[in-house]
Structure 1
């Protein structure tokens, strides 16, 4: 047999009372005049009271049904669903830590052959900032020579020749060799200054003396001599070289 709640008991009592009032004999009012009218009015009032009682009972039942009588009888979890896990005795509940959201940075691994070639490559050296010339100091810069002629007799008895030897390098130069070739071997050379002259046919070779053996950096020395003979026509040098580098005029 099921156990009835308090709200069901109240509802059953009200319904039983209403049934008895409707089925039982109505009390006759004590009236002296117009008895039928007053009896009808009394019956209407009784029915209205019964209806009001039923309405109030229905309202009470509705409130009791929607509002639980106590929290002791309410189930904690729905039937058939497992509840939260209970930690073992003696252990503290540990909340899950937040998962880090940082993405791992990929690393680039070069092949061993590439890494070996990169490490074995010799370092490149740049030229010093203060060096004004791109030519290495160990490189030999050749001498240059330029000659000029002059004559006070209009070339009838010979002419004078000056050869200027220049060192454009930043280091001193020694042991140079100047070769001047005349148009004929019958022409002679005299009055040599700044060098020692030797003849081989029409070619004359000049080597430095004590005053011109060393040409300072970016400096010049001069070799002078006279050309004698029939120099009126076709007497200018046909070739001039300083250390196998042609001279200029």
Structure 2
């Protein structure tokens, strides 16, 4: 058996000029000049802005990366670290995942409507065609930073009393359980990459065409009845999927 040991690197020691550059860049971030998820200017421009050489600037940026304030991406440059939502195989709501990581979740209803189910939706939800559905669009946030655009489609006959305003700054799973007595215990979930359209980009504060990750689910309650269809579009810099995988014996 091989043992692996991990050594903790000593904190980076900076000279006075690099320390001043680090503090100047940190101030630009903390005062909101550069926002979470935003790309920093090129090294030449940023070095001129904080009045240091590019070599010294790189030292300062590397120090801020060690502090978790910045992150570098090969070929793309430096970015302000955005809150990340890590999703594990255990089924949790967005709110539960956020709170478990010490982040403050938010949900802002963008628009909503009651409409008849399409044939495909009726099939997925085991409903009669044209059954009434509540469709709710929300922007989900972590610590006030827009992370994803969430579209939920719920059959009203299975969620009596549910109204869109109830989902403002609230957990969908939690509201379904509290208001309708529906406990979601299963989600059939798929993830794929897409490019953000103009509406999604505007809601998330990213450029149209920017890469996004789209998760789609059919969620079911304890008895196996499907109770919602969901489509969540995440900023590419704010989502990661984690799983523990096993080979069969």
Q: Shorter-normalised TM-score: what interval?
A: under 0.3
TM-score under structure 2 length normalisation: 0.22
Which has more strand, going by share of residues? 2
Give the greater-gyration-radius structure (CA).
Answer: 1
TM-score under structure 1 length normalisation: 0.22
Which has more helix, going by share of residues? 2
